[in-house]
Chain A
């Protein structure tokens, strides 16, 4: 495959600019792609989220289109331990179908599982859920968004009756008198969003950041609270305690628009500031200053992100901040509210259309008979034929290849070998499968251990829709078709479904049940979502183009979308938001003499997620070539570690090695590592698999570790 051949196949696009969005995070920055003679250029575009800004990841996004690592042919592994070899599509698909058939006939339909991703378009997320439930007939489907958005989603659902990351447009941030960011390092994860923060402060606003590290975002804050990892909930309850004690609670709002406050008030009475200070290390004076800034603001916004959410008490932690927002009367008030900052590109849409174990399209519950009947009707199947809810991502991955667990897995848009918690164990589970199929466009670490790798299209080679962090549905547009040998996920799913139908002897509906064209899939998605919480029925691609995106819910083609939710009520049975009392509890794994330091994990500006894409972009690799362990100079001095020394981080689950990076911006009792790297530098070998009881979110953000200077020794290898 050469570039020349590719250009020749779609020369009609050569002179055209294509208006689309960045492939990476949930900000979905507007960009224009332009094909020149030599390359594809990225041009930033004025769009309400990025206002013409782009970070390095966006600027360099097109470099993967013709990257030497790009997969353009399926790969097969003929025997365990053998090498992946190129294969034809028919051979690869035959292998997949035969494997599925063999496993399902021996172990039942649930023995083949599907693992999706929050970067897939709405159409693909929808088709994947349908493929699992209809073509495979398995209940076992979940996705990496479980590691990302599930805590905020669960907390939002139980408080507001709906989960849309931001229930207001991003632009509201810049008019907030007080803005509280909890565990959100937007200066590194979504740089163009910082434009709103700059504007907010220029208008005289107060920015409060809660983060155990003095991040690039915290450095911009008016007030930075630096709690011990795992104590955000106590901080939130103390803020509400102070608001109560200082008469800052909006009693009229609480009385008119909410239920359950009395019990929350009584629980919160147990979080007097000095108690929270002792738990979190945040001084009482700072807690009081934060509570007053929020409680006295005309417009106040509270945002949480992974720092608050990726905990075994993530749902309750988010709930504590939602309780605070409700007590202050923020949700539904113009310019105010609570929101969560969605991470992955389609983290929002990806959690609405059925690739989650307990969910059907339109944010419906799979155990709701009415939802099953509606969706089964759209799919043309018997509602009773739909499987029930499966298990969550980590539970699914950790059951792979075990007795009673799935024996086959299809992975789309995810790289769990790097991104799953306790990744050494998960990698072992994946290796124990009878059949691992990975659809990707590079040989990700998960593809490397697959039995079948299917080369798929990249973002600039397919049409579709994405739903950004605001709940705004956007158009992704193809610059041209994928290179020869590469198929889109939708085409691949359609083909597989077709082949599986033949296998089942139930041909006839065949391909028509799984259209490969994204417009058709979107049309079907609209019908399937109609009447659900995330109702896309009234959204068309034309409207998206005309309106700079359309905010769901949008049930009616002639009616408007909903940029701001909750102005008149909450989508709960009684129209009121629900307070839920929540208590602090210790982290799942406290420090101890053997593992005396907290580890927290996160991101760096120039890498994205598991790094399978961004580690291959030369410009990004130059800036962030490898993993590192951030530690305080005091801790380093006690360990005898100098800046740049190779260190080993060990937990009860595994170890990671990386150079030390000394910085006073981290607490001396805590170390930090980014999770974008693989192999010996994989920090998820170390992270905890303790799960939240409601969302099943793993506790990525805190576990107990030991840090040592790595002694150089010949022949020592880490698998």
Chain B
């Protein structure tokens, strides 16, 4: 037991339990705001802070472990303790007990304990001690287990066709494995996608070496030293070298529950991220705000930012206002964005736009209510995807020409105007932007006797700026020399 920490006289001792995406971010936000605080971060995992979002890239072999490291808060007053678990909280005495038996006093405690991967009840599976060939996909250690099993493997199974399962699947496929996804629902990512989008996605995945088995549950697994067999509810048996379980995440609330905090699915917090104990907050995947446990990084980081403001006392009005979620799956060959109520069925008052080109893997469906985007699914090559996400995020009005949402820019803004036929070009058209030389001026110059390019350039200064109108000027001179009497211009010259 460390008595030194018990007698620390500082009134601003903050303890963060959890050094994942939320906890590490909070530590960084706090260290930037509070020079004098003593911040202790307990991380159950024995690693530096890392980016969970990049684990699928690690699986795919695109980055190594150092490539997923995140910047950590550092400096005076910051004490990060990797591999140290919090085992108990005493809200009355305001202490945290660690797995090493230390007792750490706090003025404010933040729970950022995250979530735990669910292991489904499968016959033949010891859920407390997974066999070597079976792994969940949540942490860096899980990743290491999967990669160990994947070495030399030819075929992998993924149980669960949600976002995380598909990320694992395409990561393993990128390593050259034959990957099969088993999903108990009739289409992939059913929480985010409608059936049509799910079908296009399955087709896209097939092209990347991922086979999907839909509408079928798994019932049993038989893991042996040389391989494993997954039995499906329809009686089929799939053999593989590796099984990844991606069946959802449950908030890790044991510590909070044992401490007597109000816990529903997650630790219940208010707009200032406070739990039922005013000296304890919760953020990230373990927190439940307004009935929602998010499981995504963007809200966790926003919660970290707001809580840092609250704890730093900088902005008494700081409140967490949840933004609607955007689900994004982007990897080689897959480009999927899903948000809002796009998976819902048609409804009155809802304007729907859609585009589908399944052969090329493109699908788009957008729902608009009162000029505001309420949901969208965009799969494949959708040039407006960035715009759509921003419109959804910010609630700004959608374009009057709806086609721009599906096709990118509908008006001709992307490329320079093509060189028009000189005969059809109006006299007022500016040929040389740098020197504001209009077609009419070039024609007048010709009529005044200029015949060579040099003559025209000297008289009008066309082409003397950036020089990129040279072809256009030459085209006009060529046209002038090919016609005898450019009559329409006479009137203009006279005028």
Contacts and interface: CB of A to CB of B under 8 A. Distances in A.
Interface of A: 44, 52-56, 59, 187, 191-195, 198, 214, 216, 219-220, 224, 228, 244-247, 263, 265-267, 269-270, 272-275, 277-278, 280-286, 581, 605-606, 623, 633-634, 637-638, 664-665, 668-669
Contact of B71 (A192, A244, A270, A282): A270
Given A265-B69, A634-B397, A53 B328 contact: no
Nearest to A622: B436
B493 to A, nearest CB: 19
Nearest to A619: B436
A44 B328 contact: no
A56 B465 CA distance: 8
A55 B467 CA distance: 10
Q: Taking each of B67, B401, B434, B464, which has the highest tally of chain A beta carbons within 10 Å of its own beta carbon?
A: B434
Given A269-B51, A283-B383, A56 B71 contact: no
Interface string B389-414: 11001101101110000000101011
A275 B298 CA distance: 8
B326 A581 contact: no
Contact of A198 (B53, B68, B467): B467
Which 9 residue pairs across A and B have the least CB separation, nearest first?
A194-B466, A191-B465, A274-B328, A191-B434, A283-B386, A266-B71, A191-B466, A281-B386, A55-B465
Given A220-B468, A281-B387, 17 more contacts: A52-B464, A53-B467, A194-B465, A194-B468, A244-B63, A246-B62, A267-B71, A269-B70, A269-B71, A275-B297, A277-B385, A277-B386, A284-B386, A285-B330, A581-B71, A623-B436, A634-B397
Contacts of A273: 330
B472 to A, nearest CB: 13
6 contacts: A54-B464, A195-B466, A198-B467, A263-B71, A283-B384, A669-B396
Contacts of A668: 396-397, 399
Interface in B51-82: 51, 53-54, 57, 62-63, 66-72
A272 B51 contact: yes
A606 B397 CA distance: 35
Contact of B435 (A56, A263, A274, A285): A56
A53 B389 contact: no
A214 B413 CA distance: 7
A216 B464 contact: no
B448 interface: no
A637 B398 CA distance: 12
B92 interface: no
Contact of A244 (B53, B67, B297, B401): B67
B427 interface: no
B63 A274 contact: no
A623 B330 CA distance: 47
B66 to A, nearest CB: 7
Nearest to B329: A274
Interface in B214-240: none
A640 B394 CA distance: 22
Given A55-B434, A228-B390, A192 B465 contact: yes
Contacts of B67: 244-245, 265, 269
A278 B71 contact: no
Given A278-B326, A283-B386, A623-B436, A245 B381 contact: no
Given A56-B436, A266-B70, A633 B385 contact: no
A599 to B, nearest CB: 16
B126 to A, nearest CB: 35
B386 A245 contact: no
B416 interface: yes
A364 to B, nearest CB: 31
B335 interface: yes
Contacts of A634: 397, 399-401
Given A269-B54, A284-B330, A55 B435 contact: yes
Given A191-B466, A194-B468, A245-B57, A59 B390 contact: no
B482 interface: no
Contacts of A281: 386-387, 389-390
Contacts of B414: 214, 219, 224
Contacts of B485: none
B203 interface: no
Contact of A285 (B381, B393, B396): B381
B421 interface: no
B430 to A, nearest CB: 9
Contacts of B70: 266-267, 269-270
A120 to B, nearest CB: 26
B341 to A, nearest CB: 19
Contacts of A284: 328, 330, 335, 385-386
A263 B436 CA distance: 50
A587 to B, nearest CB: 13
Q: Taking each of A56, A187, A269, A282, which has the highest tally of chain B beta carbons within 10 Å of its own beta carbon?
A: A269
B462 to A, nearest CB: 11
Contacts of A581: 71
Contact of A665 (B57, B62, B335, B413): B413
A220 B416 contact: yes
A679 to B, nearest CB: 24
B415 interface: yes
Contacts of A56: 434-436, 461, 465
Contacts of B12: none
B139 interface: no
B97 interface: no
B433 interface: yes
Given A55-B435, A623-B436, A634-B397, A269 B68 contact: yes
B63 A245 contact: yes
Contacts of A192: 434, 465-467
Contacts of A270: 51, 70-71
Contacts of A282: 386
Given A187-B466, A278-B393, A269 B433 contact: no
B464 A53 contact: yes
Contacts of A286: 386
A272 B53 contact: yes
Contacts of A606: 436
B389 A54 contact: no
Contacts of B53: 272
A588 to B, nearest CB: 15
B327 to A, nearest CB: 9
Q: Taking each of A224, A281, A633, which has the highest tally of chain B beta carbons within 10 Å of its own beta carbon?
A: A281
Interface string B240-266: 000000000000000000000000000
Contacts of B400: 633-634, 637
Contacts of B382: 283
A277 B389 contact: yes
B103 to A, nearest CB: 32
A55 B297 CA distance: 50
Interface in B253-304: 297-298
A284 B330 CA distance: 8
A128 to B, nearest CB: 33
B157 to A, nearest CB: 26
A265 B62 CA distance: 15
Contact of A272 (B54, B413, B416, B461): B54
A164 to B, nearest CB: 25
A605 B435 CA distance: 9
Contact of B433 (A187, A272, A277, A283): A187
A263 B66 CA distance: 11
A265 B414 CA distance: 34
Contacts of A605: 433-434
Interface string B161-178: 000000000000000000
B57 to A, nearest CB: 6
A283 B57 contact: no
A373 to B, nearest CB: 36
A273 B53 CA distance: 11
A664 B399 CA distance: 11
A263 B416 CA distance: 42
